[in-house]
Structure 1
């Protein structure tokens, strides 16, 4: 029994196209609403290898629109990428899935090998970073976004065609309003994801016929679908100039919220190595999970991850004030010579 028989019967794909799909690696940036649907469709389509990147854990509010996750995932407090991998392998055990429960960073896009990136992000600050990295590293990606009842999809090959800044000349303004959330209609997400995956499969099977100058939009309340031509902007400050730099640096010790979540992030100005951190946790009887690039543990009643880069993520915290207090408590306890008793209550 050929698992992909129905897809191979599609004339524009065929057996030759399916063989191409079965050899590729796709990096999915963001495994929330769009990313969970997109990953599911890709493993069903027979993609050989997925790389999933997302720093967040599954929460109850995710279940309204993030198809892979369950109430048990919420109860277990697992990272989205870990939960996604478990459920995806139950769909197709033959797929290789690598997970990175951390924010998208430069090493992901320079050190990892992939054939295509899918932008399933929820904020334009990280999208701007992805766009600049695509220019620097000469890779293509497929942009997709959902907000309210309106969704957008566009293939982006910024070295030769319009980049994200060409599409959104007001990109800097959009980066400043990332957290002005307007919600997402449940039914919109699979529609936009389906368009993104359609473009991805088209790209993998017949890249030369992909229209990199077409933005597709959908309003699932008005039931309207439109295509727009987007040409490279001769005055684009990003793809037509070289006076920009790539930086994901954050102000040290400034706690910020990751958009659309109750996850808070901060960059430590002075951080211990993971080896020293793990030793400190062990010394104080604090249980932790050790990963390649970070360690996860409970502090002040909340899940915390400390990365080797000095990045700290705090999950499920109700507000910025509490997150700041938790971070200050942790750094005070970690300070050399600190006399206060460490606690993970």
Structure 2
């Protein structure tokens, strides 16, 4: 066989480069064996000792990939002919952390080739647990990116159900998902995207009483919420538990992102100290362009990956503000404040009296009908949906949809109620808070919040 000299890229992971980071080199070679020998001579004796056996061949634990495919599956082996532009990656079978299989090498080859991630970074991603709070406009692209990249474990938190008005921007969902609990619909879709990622769905509202339990045990928290009170609760919980927290907001054509490292950087209250839920505009009243959601979510994922692989995130003490109208990107310096009630010198962890039930008014739905969420202060995951359905039918309600984590009901008075297994409910069409609570109690009088 006639071999032709070609120019290829040979990539050495940090673990085989004395921890000095990934090294890429362009070399001229006609076969894999020739390329391997050239690189071995360049890298020196320590490299040779670690990757070459006494016969001058790659050690058993050394894997060499050509364009993401292990050369051991090629009958030609080290005699494999190379083509111009081929990418060759060499790595030990186990380099610490979660071992990457050959199939995963193929799936994630394009990101493993990146110097910013590499093989060791991919191992770290597989060992990372990220909590994504919110499965709506920002949460959808965050989740699809994290799952696609192979983050080891992802916790999905949301209290809502899928509505038709979500579909133009929340692309995890389809028409068949309308009325389903968002976290359940997202879980089903994401498991099909990448079955190797461990997914956990929690159908619950985020409040100052539930936030700490929601994020506990996670390495990074990504904020994909639309409620400032819930964001403050997440901020405070992450500060207390020492978990990096990545904020993003988007409305209309504008968005912003901030990365918060507890006890090191400005927190959310340092940047936005006194925002009020009642005064905040929302996408249901102001509208939102899907592009801004994908932009800020991509930046959040980039920041999360940097943290996961051990790099310094770019938006610590910097608020990135972007406006698609003029395609403006501004990075605004932010500083931690000693007076901040969450992370300042005088910040205190106060014990609070936990109520049994919380009632909150949301933005109007279904052409402006008043909408309320009713939530047990404690996470229960004990509601028997079949029992709720039995009560509903005896009270004239019709089942609209039902899953493992929740169901949606309606009645002749045009009330729309969604119950979740956590005990939370969203009620569309109640006249006021008192009526919303009364409707809720009709179904759940005997349910008792779990005491931790």
Aligned to 2:189: 87
Q: Against the structure 1 CA distance between its residues 260 and 143, is the aligned structure 2 distance closer, same or farther, given a 3 Å change threshold?
A: farther
What pairs up with 1:38-77 in 2 under 5 angstroms? 38-74=142-178, 77=179
Higher relative contact order (CA 8 A, sep 6+): 1
Check conservation: 2:425, 2:440, Cα contact below 8 A: no
Once residues 67 and 281 of structure 1 are traced to their aligned partners in structure 2, the CA distance between those partners, rounded to angstroms, is 29
Once residues 147 and 283 of structure 1 are traced to their aligned partners in structure 2, the CA distance between those partners, rounded to angstroms, is 39
Q: Against the structure 1 CA distance between its residues 250 and 256, is the aligned structure 2 distance closer, same or farther, given a 3 Å change threshold?
A: farther
Q: Against the structure 1 CA distance between its residues 246 and 137, is the aligned structure 2 distance closer, same or farther, given a 3 Å change threshold?
A: farther
Aligned to 2:205: 103
For residue 330 of structure 1, report the CA deviation from its aligned partner: 5.2
Q: Deviations over 1:45-88 (max 9, x none)?
A: 111111000010100000121121111111xx211111111111
Q: Which runs of 5+ in 1 are unaligned?
A: 337-345
Q: Which runs of 5+ in 2 are unaligned?
A: 1-68, 70-105, 447-452
Check conservation: 1:142, 1:196, Cα contact below 8 A: yes
Check conservation: 1:133, 1:246, Cα contact below 8 A: no
Once residues 282 and 265 of structure 1 are traced to their aligned partners in structure 2, the CA distance between those partners, rounded to angstroms, is 21
TM-score, normalised relative to structure 1: 0.81
In the alignment, does 2:422 pair up with 1:314? no
Aligned to 1:4: 108
Q: Against the structure 1 CA distance between its residues 16 and 250, is the aligned structure 2 distance closer, same or farther, given a 3 Å change threshold?
A: same
For residue 129 of structure 1, report the CA deviation from its aligned partner: 0.5
Which stretch of structure 1 is more off in the superposition, 175-184 or 25-34? Answer: 175-184
What pairs up with 1:123-272 in 2 under 5 angstroms? 123-169=227-273, 171=274, 173-178=275-280, 180=282, 181-208=285-312, 210-240=314-344, 241-243=346-348, 245=350, 255-259=359-363, 264-266=372-374
85, 110, 113: which one aligns with 2:217? 113
For residue 209 of structure 1, report the CA deviation from its aligned partner: 5.5
For residue 283 of structure 1, report the CA deviation from its aligned partner: 7.6
Count of aligned pairs between the two proteins: 323
Check conservation: 2:157, 2:201, Cα contact below 8 A: yes
315, 328, 331: which one aligns with 2:438? 328
Check conservation: 2:180, 2:407, Cα contact below 8 A: no
Structure number with larger C-alpha Rg: 2
Aligned to 1:339: none
Once residues 353 and 133 of structure 2 are traced to their aligned partners in structure 1, the CA distance between those partners, rounded to angstroms, is 15
Q: Against the structure 1 CA distance between its residues 248 and 190, is the aligned structure 2 distance closer, same or farther, given a 3 Å change threshold?
A: farther
Once residues 18 and 325 of structure 1 are traced to their aligned partners in structure 2, the CA distance between those partners, rounded to angstroms, is 51
Once residues 160 and 277 of structure 2 are traced to their aligned partners in structure 1, the CA distance between those partners, rounded to angstroms, is 20
Q: Deviations over 1:103-125 (max 9, x none)?
A: 12555634742110000011111
Q: Deviations over 1:286-335 (max 9, x none)?
A: 689796xx864636363332666xx54135x2x44188646534535766
Aligned to 2:416: 302
For residue 188 of structure 1, report the CA deviation from its aligned partner: 1.1
Residue aligned with 1:37, SS: helix
Check conservation: 1:216, 1:226, Cα contact below 8 A: yes
RMSD (Å) for aligned C-alpha atoms: 3.4
Check conservation: 2:205, 2:375, Cα contact below 8 A: no
